[in-house]
Structure 1
């Protein structure tokens, strides 16, 4: 994992045959910089954002690699946001039963979350990330220069995962993420980004396949994934995580934990996500019930006893409904 300026143009891989996968809306200059550095055998553009995370797109990319005769000792490089690198990683894990994988995340969300940890996959109509594989990248290049190309709202989406890492593991990150200097070109961007990545990297090193503490990285994600699925990704992942963290903070308080809702409301006030569409608990519950943390006994939520003290728990249905109603009223006041 490298974090710094100009990394895309300096990236090198030992494999001779490389398939470069990127979203169709990525700036041409970024694609050309990666092509110049890697001299790929094949470059594949895929639909933007979560539109690329489908079985149809996945199958089509595999066929492109096969027609290009990418060999077993070849490599796949994912260039783009978290959705594109998720897809690229699943392609790498599946093609010829696994080829080398590298990532060049181009969004803050991708750098802090999707590109770190080896989770790859695609979505189903029934929910997010229900098909995939663990396939860690051999290298990740987080080029901070590309963050200056992001619209402010897209940068703010990625900040949700960095803030989450502060809530579950490193509270010192919380004021740093909300600082005016946490922005493209800001004085604390690189160090804060590196520390937020280190939280996830440490957890993943200890628990790659999510048998234990890695589940804590899903704080706020049970509702977040449901919001994404119900709205057909009209609510973006970063916005959904911001909303979902506040719901999880309310549930944590309801089950006797510290009241951390001030922190989650502060983040939503900083992020200013788009307003949610009309929705009820019944709208999102079927998606929460299929959450990947669910087991034979039901849905488990990641909650917090206090800052940096996460745990897994089942929450009574009446608490879920009551807190959803209160959450719905509160988040109306913080959207832009």
Structure 2
């Protein structure tokens, strides 16, 4: 099985990628954690467990399953407290292992649980969405949302292993598959032009759920993530580039109360806003900008949403990349290259966000005309 290694100052672990991995999940967890294992606790959503629970627990003598309702709206402290109480009541101790079996919300929240329960226990990430497989399950970021913004509370708590089974993606709803592919596009834009070209040339296979094509996408995206995290574990510099599209993307999620768009869909619109800003500044060629925007829409359609540009810019002020009063923005300069800039003005960001909203409005009108 392909394996990708992460080696940071505080943690070292492998990401295993392949097919039929759920059948040997117990052995893989034991191999990663050693004999110091008392209890295993799965955190997952009811719908996902209904699909895959039997396959997961087949190799386990015993495991406790804790449920987290699906959706970004449940990534809150109320869910954290409820799950912590369940861990305590079920006898979880410092040798227990949490297994995050789900998408980005489950992964982020379970990682946070592991970071704070008894001052830290081990966690294994078993991502089941494309978005989680290509990005959020790796790197140790955990978090919960506040009303003021996304992931404003959290910690760095690396998993002891990441096990990504491509087979699980076959039951993924099409909109979630497409949303996850936006994060793969992000990886291509910031650091891997070969991945970007692969996504361009193999769109039909990828969107059809072809196993080999999806495995290539996940593999190359994870290698981008691992390379960046290995160089900058705590996001003091280079790791910020992984947030390309997230400044406005997170603002869109907050403005729509996390109920209108999937995370990847919001990031798609956020990347378009960043592309428009790069064009305004002359940082990116018109040809490259068109290629990126065309690919974003190829893996869409991105849902429309209601929000004013001024509100999105206002919400972006709480972005976690901002340091010491300086607003940091990830600006694409080509396909495979970005830069971190600190001199983006509010007027520039407003103009780029307005351009993105105008593009969305034009697309919506076109769709209505076609329906007529």
299-308 or 113-122: bigger deviation: 299-308
Count, aligned residues? 336
Contact residue 246 and residue 267 of structure 2 kept, 8 A: yes
Counterparts of 2:119 and 2:39, CA distance in 1: 16
What is the CA-CA distance between 1:231 and the residue it aligns to?
0.3
Query: Counterpart of 2:33?
Result: none
Counterparts of 1:29 and 1:324, CA distance in 2: 40
1:181 aligns with 2:205: yes
Q: Could you list the per-position Cα deviations for residues 173-216 of structure 1 after superposition, in whole angstroms to 9, with x for gaps in the alignment?
A: 11322422224234422122211111001111111110110000
Query: Counterpart of 1:194?
Result: 219
Counterparts of 2:239 and 2:126, CA distance in 1: 23
318-327 or 283-292: bigger deviation: 318-327
Local SS of the residue matching 1:133? coil
Query: Counterpart of 1:210?
Result: 235
Counterparts of 1:263 and 1:127, CA distance in 2: 31
Query: Counterpart of 1:235?
Result: 261
Contact residue 102 and residue 128 of structure 2 kept, 8 A: yes
Contact residue 268 and residue 302 of structure 2 kept, 8 A: no
55-64 or 25-34: bigger deviation: 25-34
Structure 1 vs Structure 2 CA RMSD? 1.6
Alignment of 1:1-336 (within 5 A): 1-12=15-26, 13-14=29-30, 15-178=37-200, 179=202, 180-183=204-207, 184-233=209-258, 234-259=260-285, 260-313=288-341, 314-334=343-363
28-37 or 249-258: bigger deviation: 28-37
What is the CA-CA distance between 1:327 and the residue it aligns to?
1.8
Contact residue 265 and residue 303 of structure 2 kept, 8 A: no
**Divergent runs of 4+, >6 A:** none
Q: Cα distance 1:311–1:41, how it changes in 2: closer, same or farther (>3 A)?
A: same
Counterparts of 1:320 and 1:191, CA distance in 2: 34
Counterparts of 1:32 and 1:334, CA distance in 2: 43
Which is richer in helix?
A: 2
Local SS of the residue matching 1:209? coil
Contact residue 163 and residue 174 of structure 1 kept, 8 A: yes
109-118 or 186-195: bigger deviation: 186-195
What is the CA-CA distance between 1:27 and the residue it aligns to?
4.6
319-328 or 140-149: bigger deviation: 319-328
316-325 or 216-225: bigger deviation: 316-325
Structure 2: stretches of 5+ with no match in the other structure? 1-14, 31-36, 368-372
What is the TM-score when the length of structure 1 is the normalising length? 0.95
Counterparts of 2:60 and 2:159, CA distance in 1: 16
What is the CA-CA distance between 1:333 and the residue it aligns to?
4.3
Counterparts of 1:181 and 1:271, CA distance in 2: 12
Counterparts of 2:61 and 2:275, CA distance in 1: 47
What is the TM-score when the length of structure 2 is the normalising length? 0.86
Structure 1: stretches of 5+ with no match in the other structure? none
Contact residue 289 and residue 298 of structure 1 kept, 8 A: no
What is the CA-CA distance between 1:305 and the residue it aligns to?
2.4
Contact residue 122 and residue 128 of structure 1 kept, 8 A: yes
Q: Cα distance 1:215–1:261, how it changes in 2: closer, same or farther (>3 A)?
A: same
Q: Cα distance 1:208–1:318, how it changes in 2: closer, same or farther (>3 A)?
A: same
Contact residue 124 and residue 131 of structure 1 kept, 8 A: yes
18-27 or 87-96: bigger deviation: 18-27
